[in-house]
Structure 1
Amino acid sequence: MSLPAGFGLIAEDPAMGPQVTAQLARIEELLRESVANTDAFADQTSRHLVEAGGKRIRPLLAVLASHLGDPSRDEVVTAAVVVELTHLATLYHDDVMDSAPMRRGAPTAHELWGNSVAILTGDLIFARASTLVSDLGGRALKIQAETFERLCMGQLQETQGPRDGEDPRAHYISVLEGKTGSLVAAAGHFGAMLAGAPEEHIDVMVRYGEKVGVAFQLADDVIDVTGAKEKAGKRPGTDLREGVPTLPVLLLRERAAADPGDDDTRRVLGLVDGDLSSDEALADTVAALAAHPVAEESWAIARSWADEAVAALAPLPESTVKAALTSFAHAVVHRDV
């Protein structure tokens, strides 16, 4: 794992640059060691997503946060691996629930080995994360347990959908806070805490991480339903085809309800609610959504969450670390990470 584009300020820092690069390399090494298994089949299924790559934004945030304290502590690398393992485990489960055929440019585990194997592999990776976090002390274990609960609740909320009378957009944001924001916040929490940063700085990283996580997922969802940029291994419009409610579609429905005479909005909504089984129909719908004003409105909302994350950094002293965290927040909505 190397520094993404936009982080030249770290690479140019003679003290921070080499240390961050070494931390990221060690995380990648330990990640592979952590999923290794003496059973050949379990080893194959557990390595599947690790070897497919990924953005590794959670470990990167843990590393950046650790530079608010003593980043040389071994616990920082361990915690960074814990959050990435937890993320990987959820992907095995999510892909089963969503019937997703591809992940990171490769067939999903359930497509290769069936649902039961995919679910059990996710459970196995969760177990490895639990073993690692148990060595980090009671406070870390509590953070992991609370984060895991929020991940499950976020998924359950998404599965159930909004309750009667609940605002769909508020429900959607709540789902993102649970499914994505909680684990990104945990990465910042772990990195700062295990590096011995002051408590007020740890609190900053928790607030910052939650907002960055939501900004990241908002951008991911907009990319999917507008085809703004094809994500590796995932066809634009996958969420549309699966009927997953995302921000552009929610905004489209809000517009249609507010102005029934808006013919363009009604036309695009008709495409969204139509038969998207064919690739041609899906591509037409993605193109129509991308051209509609809700696409830019969605991007503006994603950027506003990133801006709120940057604002949360205000209590930190001016430093290379603070500048890097600012770049990180902007990068998650401009897809440099």
Structure 2
Amino acid sequence: MQQTVRDRTPDAGLGAGHAAVEEGLLRATRSDVPFITEAARRLLRSPARRLLRSRAPRFRPHLVLLAARFGDPDAPGVVPAAVVVELTHRATHYHDEVRDEAGVRRRGPGGTVHPATDAHWDNTVAVLTGDVLFARASHLLAGLGPQAVRLQAEAFKQLVTGQILETTGPPEGHDPVAHHLEVLTARCGALTAVSGRLGAITAGADPAVADALAPCGERLGVARRLSAEAEALVPGHRPTMPLLLLRSRGGSQGAADADQELYALLTAGPAERDRNAAALARLRSHPVLAETRREATRQAAAAHAALSPLPDGPAKTALEELCQSVTPRSTPHGP
């Protein structure tokens, strides 16, 4: 009898699942128009995916596959659900790049600069390619049933709401830090929440499992983003927790003035490299980074606590380890 994912060791089963997800992503991004295939697959090979060289799994599909282990991980809808959440993430990433209208979006290990999408294609092509990925995700989602469609639609609504909240900024009198956490809950938490829920549902797990995995995934998404904000220190105008904390800090007049000066340097953009390098060096030792890491740790702890109703076993242990893995390191690394 053919060995199933359930019969293999947990790591081997997950490895087979991730391989199936990669195959599904390649099929979903194949088009009769070569340029569409190239544009869509370039996004799947974005700088973050260079981590695959160290065999790091895609985060949201990984949640789907772990959640599926509370039911039947070989159920036919599990891998398509993992492909759906990754396509949705990548499509919103494409639109996000255009919305930022930035020449440089992020830096990788060692400070390597990765150009934004619209440095290669104009905004129109970027948006349309994102729309293609949304269309492919919707096509796959339709085969998973009405409940999956409703869950994904709600997650997408939350994600777009988060983007709007970030663009408009906090209302007058509203705490910018609290507003930022609301934005991250919608922008980053909604899709990780639905990843856990879809994995459980498509695997036929008990509904209580899906109910526990949703808040766990939501907090994991926020914790992961805050951890990145504490370490990926890049000048620019996009709000991050360290910058918002820096802007809102009080204290003595001299300290407050120094914080405001540093904030102005960090939000001035990447044009003046020497001044930016000096500002980033100051930020690396600033208390706002420790405060950001503490908030990320609190979010990860909330994700871990949400797992308490789940039955003990390898799947729960793997999720607990995942919660620990998103806790930021004690010291930030290069910009």
Structure 1 and Structure 2 fold alike (TM over 0.5): yes
Matched, 1:116 2:110: no
**Is contact 1:59–1:187 with CA below 8 Å preserved after alignment?**
yes
Matches within 5 A, 1:147-296: 147-225=155-233, 237=234, 240-241=235-236, 243-256=237-250, 259-261=251-253, 263-274=254-265, 275-276=268-269, 277-296=271-290
Match of 1:48 among 25, 42, 50: 42
Matched, 1:127 2:135: yes
**Is contact 1:27–1:80 with CA below 8 Å preserved after alignment?**
yes
Distance 2:244 2:104 in 1: 25
Q: CA deviation at 1:269?
A: 2.7
User: What is the match of residue 31 of structure 2?
Assistant: 37
Distance 1:260 1:127 in 2: 54
DSSP 3-state at the match of 2:137 = helix
**Is contact 1:208–1:309 with CA below 8 Å preserved after alignment?**
yes
Q: CA deviation at 1:106?
A: 5.0
User: What is the match of residue 15 of structure 2?
Assistant: 21
Question: Which residue type is aligned with residue 264 of structure 2?
Answer: D
Distance 1:107 1:34 in 2: 25
Match of 1:313 among 307, 315, 318: 307
1:194-251 deviation line (CA, Å, top 9, x unaligned): 11111111100001000001101111112223xxxxxxxxxxx1xx32x122111222
Q: Identity of counterpart residues, as a percentage? A: 39
Match of 1:302 among 296, 299, 311: 296
Distance 1:147 1:63 in 2: 18
**Is contact 1:268–1:288 with CA below 8 Å preserved after alignment?**
no
**Is contact 2:229–2:241 with CA below 8 Å preserved after alignment?**
yes
DSSP 3-state at the match of 1:333 = coil
Q: CA deviation at 1:297?
A: 1.2
Q: CA deviation at 1:320?
A: 1.1
**Is contact 1:216–1:333 with CA below 8 Å preserved after alignment?**
yes
Greater than 6 Å deviation, 4+ residue runs: none
Question: Which residue type is aligned with residue 65 of structure 2?
Answer: V
User: What is the match of residue 324 of structure 1?
Assistant: 318
Distance 2:217 2:322 in 1: 10
Distance 1:266 1:318 in 2: 52
Range that drifts further, 247-256 or 83-92: 247-256
**Is contact 2:193–2:217 with CA below 8 Å preserved after alignment?**
yes
DSSP 3-state at the match of 1:318 = coil
Match of 1:85 among 87, 91, 94: 87
Distance 1:124 1:133 in 2: 14
User: What is the match of residue 3 of structure 2?
Assistant: none
DSSP 3-state at the match of 2:172 = coil
Question: Which residue type is aligned with residue 59 of structure 1?
Answer: P
Q: CA deviation at 1:15?
A: 3.2
**Is contact 2:227–2:296 with CA below 8 Å preserved after alignment?**
yes
Distance 1:255 1:246 in 2: 14
DSSP 3-state at the match of 2:310 = coil
Q: CA deviation at 1:266?
A: 2.9
Structure 1 unmatched ranges of 5 or more: 1-12, 226-236
Distance 1:109 1:88 in 2: 12
**Is contact 1:100–1:108 with CA below 8 Å preserved after alignment?**
yes
**Is contact 1:89–1:122 with CA below 8 Å preserved after alignment?**
yes
1:22-46 deviation line (CA, Å, top 9, x unaligned): 0010001111110111101111111
How many positions carry a matched residue from both structures?
306
Aligned CA-pair RMSD: 1.8
1:166-212 deviation line (CA, Å, top 9, x unaligned): 11111101100111100000100100111111111110000100000
User: What is the match of residue 61 of structure 2?
Assistant: 59
Q: CA deviation at 1:252?
A: 1.8
**Is contact 2:151–2:194 with CA below 8 Å preserved after alignment?**
yes
Matched, 1:139 2:147: yes
